[in-house]
């Protein structure tokens, strides 16, 4: 096996994470003790927002009215696809019951969480699709109350198109908040929100750290890092297509890695030669962001075979995985670690990010080795129940008491043996 790195990423700085943790911890502590006053203070200081936090119905309707009809049509197209896919996911989840032994009936039941907090990024870019992905999926899961937040722009608040997407997807409450303060407000149930049972949605490193710190009493979708993408390509792939697919994902952020794993030297050389020109063709600040990502985070890996390429890909466990190679069915059956898979040159991560339907909130930083992305399952608790007849209870009691005493748990044994008297 010969794996050759034609381009390798620079080591990540180690000190940045500790600074972020300290900042987020202070903010969460202040908001926990001071509540809405602290949130308003952070909103003004960090985002320049001094207006109302909770969006009124009138403001919501006015924002929706300002969205051009053609953009509304595009958002509705994406929403319909996301809705359709989420409904198909929900159809795979069902209650069940079984008679484990004669007289012992056990089962499982699906219960949606009572409230969800959906974070919609809105800093450098207006992430319309994230509003659709998170809120729509929670709605399909049956969550009774959904709060949505997104960073404001000074004097204007949340962009109209994001508000329209939130409204269309079914948000019950929209808050003019971003960052750590937005996450904390949903967690604590401030400004009319219900305290969130689960917090979902992508965000910057401060948002991700706030979710991580709050995890435990509150659920989260996943521990998220910078978005990442990997392309597997062979001699049949087109240099321009592969290069654009990598560059387009690099514009997410300077810390967002993109990787090419290929079995073709000529393709690798062509992509590395072409990437710079494609980046230069982007507008600012996109070009600067993508340039930094390509310089510091991009890797190009040359492999001897398809199997070797698959092994390399599985070791990275990318958030987004594109395959532009022969025998797509083989890749679908062989690959095991990815957030979402895009097969063939006619699809692209951009489709998945915006309109295709499957959720774009996906595991990053190798987490795809053990988890998938956001789905109706994340908003649903699979709980179990059991009941039994006297006959079943007698047998269970005898065996439970013996096992309990072997473990040294006498209280368990006596509670079990009480059932022998019934």
- Among 127, 320, 360, 377, which one carries the catalytic annotation? 320
Query: Which of 295, 206, 311 lies closest to 255 in space, CA to CA?
Result: 295
Residues in the chain: 422
Residues contacting 61, CB < 8 A, separation 6+: none
Question: What separation in angstroms does the CA of 144 have from each of 104, 113, 140, 403?
Answer: 33, 8, 10, 42
- Does pLDDT of 16 surpass 80? no
DSSP 205-229: HHHHHHHHHHBTTBEES----S--E
DSSP 293-314: HHHHT-EEEE-SSHHHHHHHHH
User: Mean of the per-residue pLDDT values for the chain?
Assistant: 95
DSSP 124-150: SS--HHHHHHHHHHHHHHT-SEEEEE-
Query: According to the model, what pLDDT value does residue 2 have?
Result: 80
For range 227-235, the mean pLDDT = 97
Cβ–Cβ < 8 Å for 298, 9? yes
Reported as a pLDDT band with limits 50, 70 and 90, residue 18 is confident
Largest CA distance in the chain: 82
- Does pLDDT of 198 surpass 70? yes
* 16-94+108-220 and 226-369 agree in CATH topology: yes
Q: What is the pLDDT of residues 385-412, one digit of tens each?
A: 999 998 899 999 999 999 999 999 999 9
| 61 annotated active-site | no
User: 16-94+108-220 sits in which CATH class?
Assistant: alpha beta
Reported as a pLDDT band with limits 50, 70 and 90, residue 366 is very high
Query: According to the model, what pLDDT value does residue 389 have?
Result: 92
Q: What is the pLDDT of residues 285-339, one digit of tens each?
A: 999 999 999 999 999 999 999 999 999 999 999 999 999 999 999 999 999 999 9
CATH for 226-369, options being 3.40.50.1980, 3.40.50.620, 2.60.40.10, 3.40.50.2000 = 3.40.50.1980
- Does pLDDT of 1 surpass 80? no
Q: pTM score, two decimals?
A: 0.93
- Does pLDDT of 15 surpass 60? no
Reported as a pLDDT band with limits 50, 70 and 90, residue 189 is very high
Reported as a pLDDT band with limits 50, 70 and 90, residue 126 is confident
Domain ranges of the chain: 16-94+108-220, 226-369, 389-421
Of the listed ranges 128-132, 151-155, 261-265, the one predicted with least confidence: 151-155
Reported as a pLDDT band with limits 50, 70 and 90, residue 12 is confident
What is the percent of the chain with per-residue pLDDT over 90, rounded to a whole number? 90
Q: What is the pLDDT of residues 70-85, one digit of tens each?
A: 999 999 999 999 999 9
User: Cα separation of 361 and 378, whole Å?
Assistant: 11
- Among 319, 326, 412, 422, which one carries the catalytic annotation? 319
Residue with tokens 């209280």: 411
């Amino acid at each position: 096996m010969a794996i050759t790195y034609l381009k390798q990423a620079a080591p990540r700085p180690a000190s940045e994470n500790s600074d972020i943790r300290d900042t987020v911890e202070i903010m969460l502590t202040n908001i926990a003790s001071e509540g809405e006053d602290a949130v308003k203070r952070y909103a003004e200081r960090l985002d320049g927002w001094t207006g109302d936090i909770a969006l009124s119905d009138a403001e919501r309707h006015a924002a929706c009215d300002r969205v051009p009809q053609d953009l509304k049509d595009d958002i509705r197209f994406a929403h319909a696809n996301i809705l359709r896919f989420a409904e198909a996911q929900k159809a795979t989840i069902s209650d069940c019951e079984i008679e484990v032994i004669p007289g012992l009936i056990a089962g499982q039941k699906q219960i949606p969480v009572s409230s969800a907090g959906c974070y919609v990024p809105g800093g450098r870019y207006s992430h319309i699709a994230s509003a659709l992905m998170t809120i729509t999926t929670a709605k399909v899961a049956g969550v009774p109350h959904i709060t949505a937040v997104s960073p404001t722009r000074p004097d204007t608040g949340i962009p109209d198109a994001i508000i329209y997407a939130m409204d269309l997807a079914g948000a019950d409450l929209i808050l003019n908040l971003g960052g750590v303060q937005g996450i904390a407000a949903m967690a604590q149930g401030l400004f009319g929100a219900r305290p969130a049972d689960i917090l979902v949605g992508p965000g910057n490193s401060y948002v991700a750290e706030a979710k991580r710190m709050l995890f435990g009493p509150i659920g989260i979708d996943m521990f998220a890092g910078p978005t990442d993408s990997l392309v597997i390509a062979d001699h049949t792939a087109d240099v321009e297509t592969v290069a654009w697919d990598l560059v387009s994902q690099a514009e997410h952020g300077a810390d967002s890695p993109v990787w090419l794993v290929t079995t073709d030297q000529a393709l690798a050389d062509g992509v590395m030669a072409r990437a710079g020109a494609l980046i230069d063709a982007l507008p600012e600040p996109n070009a600067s962001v993508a340039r930094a990502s390509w310089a510091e985070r991009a890797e190009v890996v040359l492999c001897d075979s398809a199997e070797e390429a698959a092994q390399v890909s599985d070791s990275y466990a990318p958030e987004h995985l594109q395959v532009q190679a022969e025998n797509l069915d083989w890749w679908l059956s062989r690959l095991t670690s990815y957030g979402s898979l895009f097969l063939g040159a006619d699809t692209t991560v951009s489709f998945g990010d915006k309109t295709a339907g499957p959720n774009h909130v996906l595991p990053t930083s190798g987490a795809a080795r053990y988890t998938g992305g956001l789905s109706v399952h994340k908003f649903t608790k699979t709980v179990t129940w059991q009941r039994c007849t006297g006959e079943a209870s007698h047998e269970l009691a005898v065996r439970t008491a013996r096992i309990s005493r072997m473990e040294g748990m006498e209280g368990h044994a006596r509670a079990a043996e009480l059932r022998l008297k019934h």
